[in-house]
Every structure is written in structure tokens, then in C-alpha cells.
Structure 1
Amino acid sequence: MTRSSGRFVVTGVAGFLGSNLLERMLRDGHEVIGIDNLSMGRLENIAAFEGNPKFRFLKRDVIHAETFADLDGQFDAIVHLAAFKIPRYGKAIDTLKINYQGTEQALEFARNRNIKAVLASTSDVYGRNPNLPFAEEGTDSVIGSSKSPRWAYAVSKLFDEHLGLAYADAYGFPVTALRFFGSYGPNQNTTWWGGPQSVFIDCVLTGKPIPIHGDGMQTRSFTYVSDTVEGIYQATIRPEANGEIINIGNNKEITILELAKLIKRLSNTPGELNIQFTPYESFNGKKYEDVMRRVPDIRLCEKLLGVRAKVDVEEGMARAIEWQRAFMAKQKAG
């Protein structure tokens, strides 16, 4: 960047990662133009920054070119976080079209301004590859059958990565793609859109059975949001990240069943752990293909960005439970 403080566009700014990234950028004195259509994001997530002279919010949809047409002045980068997530309950066509169209418009904005584009990708692009840990180079994408809509999200993000790198090659501006692993924490969506920890916390706090898909032996690597955001932030401001695809995550592995037990213990709620095992076949009458293990190779993130996850899963989940408990109480109070 050419200035000590930068000027950035952040799409999906009212969402989970966007709102936390906004806080991080404003803390360092940067100016942010935030875009969100509020289909999944919440104004409550960014309410604390209303009136901040360095933040401007625009309720717009990133899939439209006119969304970016009137953004004046010099920018340093666009961080494209807006997306339509995994179609566990269908809507694969929305996942494919929204993710492609939004990314294309973000890249067109970067091309027209000759600025950096940072694109949100996902660990899901590694698919069913059994070789761990997942490395940015050397670990192939192993995607399941096209007849399973479960893979639409992975394919859309893989296409976004290819599109971004193709734009960079054709037009000569820097692009970075970030593959996130299991981010969680304050401002997370409290349904399946936010991940299993969101649902597990909700169930434990309300006394409902915890739904676990399959036998719960599948593993994930959960990354507290401050660690994810630090990765996004450093990837945005550091030229070392230009042209790279980088894993952002915690390489500590935990089974989904262990996660449920941990959340129950940390919540300090009465009664025994109540788990309801749900067969994959229950999803839309089709077999839902799960990824049995997911662990990132984090060496490139450490090397290029100087970022390593600091918050362990026990401390992070305790914070997430505290935040979600307060959020639920506020929602109940109206």
C-alpha cells in the first residue's frame, strides 16, 4: 500500500467474518466501504461502528455491476467475503450463480481500479482427499459426484479461485485466495449456516437434543474468528500474499462428537448430554456426502503472513458460548 492507512472495500461486511474484519481494519485506522445485501448479514453486527467517520455502509447486492459503479476515490484492495454457502438443504443453483456472479463483479472492480482482490474460498475445495494435512500445493481437490448438490459450494469456490487467478494473469493486478477452516466466534450465524458449533450451542442452551450427522467420528479443525481475521487482514496488506492461495486455520483436529461433549461441559448447563444421531440419507432424501477429516497445512500462512492460530478450541468455544448465550437472550427479549 502507498499510505500508512488504507482504504478498502469489504463485501459481506455485516456477516460473521466481514463484521469482525471491519473491527480489525478500523482499529488500525483504515477506511472501509462495507457492502452487504443483509440476506444473511445483520445490521446488529456492525451497529457499534455506525457514525464512525472511517466507515460507510451500503446495502447493495454484489452480483450487480452498479453496486460498485459510484465508489469514488482511491482504494487499496477489495476483500470479497460475500457468498452463498453450502447447499445442505438445497438451493444449489443459488450457490453456483451467486458465488460466481459476486466474485466476477468484485474482480471487475479490482481490474478497473488496478487494485488487489482478496477472495474468500473454503477448505471444502479439498473435497474427499484423504491425505492430511491439506496443503495449498500438493493436495488435489477430490470432488464427489455432480449428482450430489453437496459439492456445489466447493465447486463454486474452486471456480472462484481459478477465475481470480485468471484475472490476475490476464490483467496484471494482484489476487489472493484464502481457504478458511471452521471459523467460529462472535457474530456467527446461529444455525447450520454458521457451522455445527452454532447448532450445538443452541441445542445445549435450550435443552434440545444435539443433532450429529453420521456417527460423529468425522473431524474438523475449528479456528477462532480473531485468528481467521488476522489471516485475512495480513493477506490484504502484505504483498507477499499476492498471487497465492493460502490456508487460514487451526491445525488442531477434533471429532464432532468430542465437540458436542466439549460444548456441553463448557456451557455449565444441567442434565446429561443428549445426542440425536442423524443419518446422512435424511437430507432431501439423498445421501449427503461428508468429509471425514479436515486439517490444514498452515506452514504457508505462517511463512507469508506471520499468522498462527493463538486461541485453542476450549478457550474459543467458551467465548462463543458466552456470546451466543447473550445473543439468544437479546433475541428472546425482543
Structure 2
Amino acid sequence: MSRALITGGVGFLGSHLCDRLIEEGHEVVCLDNLSTGRIDNVAHLGGHDAFRFIKQDVTEYLYIDGPLDYVLHFASPASPVDYQRLPIQTLKVGSLGTHKALGLAKAKGARFLLASTSEVYGDPLIHPQREEYWGNVNPIGPRGMYDEAKRFAEAMTMAYHRYHGLDTRIARIFNTYGPRMRPNDGRVVSNFINQALRDEPLTVYGDGLQTRSFCYVSDLVEGLYRLLMSDEVNPVNVGNPNEFTVIELAHMVLKSIGGQSAGSTALTTGIEICPLPLDDPRVRQPDIGLARAKLGWEPKVQIAEGLVLTIEYFRKQLEGSS
């Protein structure tokens, strides 16, 4: 049985990766300081012979007993609410945390996978975004702590690959949604769904014509697993190329929730327009040609299906908290 460490393993994506690796027959060590992740996300794995949880900050001295075959570095605040609330911690986990995780992978002879982000492209000047694009990032803006932390993490990962010969992978993850997102994490899908379920106005920033591309979590995890098991060293975009505007997404959510409401054909919920935050990207769409060619991967879950599954998750969460 091979053994994997997942930093940030109780987070939205990390917890789904714990499930996937265990399903594939791997033993998983899940490390998280619980600053943004929820232990409930891995509660179902408690007592599993192939699962171990360690509460620790990855920026501190990192020691894992026994062998490791894989190190997956997913520790980081990943939503605007979190990384703007924790700016120094975000920079530290992208720099010191990445250094610690890479050092552990080197010591164990493990393959290393970095969870990078589409935010390395900033507010892009090319569209869709291809891996060879270097980005348009404001390093001192309100999103700089996250963008630059991930760009630094990519640079350090490639330095370890080139200088130490470490076997590395880099996933540039685009917008992802699905069960286990936090209702108040500031991400557009979770915001819209929870506002609509509470019959509150959906908050749309700017004119709502900025575009996004949303990948359902099961599709994304499939892409990440294929990348981990591939021989592709260069960064790979992992996301859904189906692009639409934020205002279109708001109407999709309202329609989906209205259609699920017993005895109701429409909600009273409307849309509230707010000022566009500084440096908010106007477009975001992955070119996944490399993922198709190298991983044989592309998303399968359509947005309408994914929204229904995510809405059901949040509905149960709301009912459980009431």
C-alpha cells in the first residue's frame, strides 16, 4: 500500500482527495491546522485503517514517521474572505509551507503535487488562459497575498525539480464548487446558493458581466488524480472551460432553487448590485488542451447537475443548523 500526505487535508478539495486516494488503495496522512478547514469534512474517515489525521501548521517543523510515496500540498486559504482575513498566514503557507512540504518530499523520495491556482494569471490579458501565459498580477493589490504566494510556490516547486531532481507536479486549479464548501467562504457559488436558500438578495459585484468557469468537485478530483499519476512536470490547467457570466450564474441558481422549492415556482429573492472589488478578474476560462492531451481528462458534470447536488448539500446544512 502506498502512502500519501495531504496538507490542508480537511479543506474542501483536500478532504475529497483523502476520499479518492483511500478509494484507490492508498494510505492517507491528513495534515491541517484547521484555520479554514472543517474537521467534519473527514469525520466519516475517523477510525479508518488507511487514514490518520495530524493537527499541525505546515509552516512549522514538519516530521512524518514512516515512508511517503506522495506529498500533495493543498494547505492555504483559498477564498477571498479567507486570504484577506489571513494575509500573512497566506503568504507564509505559500512560501514557508511549500518549502517545508518540498523538503519532506525530498527526504522521503516522494512525488510532490502543488495545488496552484488560476489566480497566477491575475486579471488576464489573453483569453482563454493557457499554461505558457505568465499572467497580469498586481503584487501589492488586495489579492496580491494569494496570487504571489502561489506564484512563489510554483517557482520553488520547479527549483526543487531542477536543482534536486524532485519528481513534481503543478495543478493550476480553476473555480471549483460542490459539497463541503463553507457557506460563508466568499466564493460565488456558495454565496449565491446560501443567499438564495435564505431568501436574501444575491450579491453581484460590478455589472455581473465578468466571466467565470466552474468545475464540479468530482471532475476536478479526477483531473488531480490523473495528474498525480502522470509524468507531466509542467503546470497543467485543471478546470471547466464552459464559460458564462456571473449574472448568468445568479439566474441559474435562482432557477434551480426555485424549481426545488415545494409549492413554489419562483423565489422572492432578487439580485443586489455592489461595486466591483479592485483587481477582480474580468475573465476566467481555462484552456485545457494540455490536460486533454496529457491526462486524457475533461469535465463531465454539467453546471445544472452540479448546482442541484451542491444546493442539496447546503439545504441539508441549513436544516441541520436550524
Measured against the shorter chain, the TM-score band is over 0.9
Aligned match for 2:9, one of 9, 13, 18 = 13
Q: Is the 8 A contact 2:102 2:160 kept in 1?
A: yes
**Residue 246 (str. 1) matches residue 236 (str. 2):** yes
Q: Give CA-to-partner distance per residue, 1:27-84, whole Å, 9 cap, x none.
A: 111110111111111111111111110111111111111xx32x22222110010102
Distance, in Å, in 2 between the alignment partners of 1:160 and 1:113 is 20
Q: Give CA-to-partner distance per residue, 1:149-195, whole Å, 9 cap, x none.
A: 222211110110001000111111111111111111010121234x1
Residue 87 (structure 1) shift: 4.8
Residue 307 (structure 1) shift: 1.4
Q: Which residue of 1 aligns with 2:122?
A: 127
Three-state SS of the structure 2 residue aligned to 1:186 is coil
Distance, in Å, in 2 between the alignment partners of 1:106 and 1:96 is 15
Give 5+ residue unaligned stretches, structure 2.
none
After TM superposition, the structure 1 = structure 2 runs for residues 84-233 of structure 1, keeping only pairs within 5 Å, are 84-87=77-80, 89-137=84-132, 139-144=133-138, 146-193=139-186, 195-233=187-225
Distance, in Å, in 2 between the alignment partners of 1:61 and 1:36 is 6
State the TM-score, normalized to the length of structure 2.
Answer: 0.93
Q: Is the 8 A contact 1:121 1:179 kept in 2?
A: yes
Residue 90 (structure 1) shift: 5.0
Q: Is the 8 A contact 2:199 2:268 kept in 1?
A: no
Q: Give CA-to-partner distance per residue, 1:113-158, whole Å, 9 cap, x none.
A: 1211100100011112231111111x231112x4422222111101
Distance, in Å, in 1 between the alignment partners of 2:236 and 2:88 is 27
Q: Which residue of 2 aligns with 1:61?
A: 57
Q: Which residue of 2 aligns with 1:288?
A: 278
Amino acid at match of 2:287: D
Q: Is the 8 A contact 1:86 1:153 kept in 2?
A: no
Amino acid at match of 2:213: S
State the TM-score, normalized to the length of structure 1.
Answer: 0.90
Distance, in Å, in 1 between the alignment partners of 2:318 and 2:114 is 31
Q: Which moved more, 1:158-167 or 1:121-130?
A: 121-130
Q: Is the 8 A contact 1:125 1:154 kept in 2?
A: yes
Distance, in Å, in 2 between the alignment partners of 1:167 and 1:327 is 42
Q: Which residue of 1 aligns with 2:308?
A: 318
Three-state SS of the structure 2 residue aligned to 1:192 is coil
Three-state SS of the structure 2 residue aligned to 1:132 is coil
Q: Is the 8 A contact 1:90 1:149 kept in 2?
A: no
Three-state SS of the structure 2 residue aligned to 1:293 is coil
Give 5+ residue unaligned stretches, structure 1.
281-286
- Alpha-carbon RMSD across the aligned residues, in angstroms, is 1.5
Q: Which residue of 2 aligns with 1:283?
A: none
Aligned match for 1:237, one of 220, 229, 237 = 229
Residue 6 (structure 1) shift: 2.1
- Equivalent pairs counted in the alignment come to 314
Three-state SS of the structure 2 residue aligned to 1:149 is coil
Distance, in Å, in 2 between the alignment partners of 1:134 and 1:198 is 24
Distance, in Å, in 1 between the alignment partners of 2:18 and 2:85 is 31
Amino acid at match of 2:16: N
Distance, in Å, in 2 between the alignment partners of 1:302 and 1:168 is 24
Q: Which residue of 2 aligns with 1:51?
A: 47
Q: Which moved more, 1:106-115 or 1:216-225?
A: 106-115
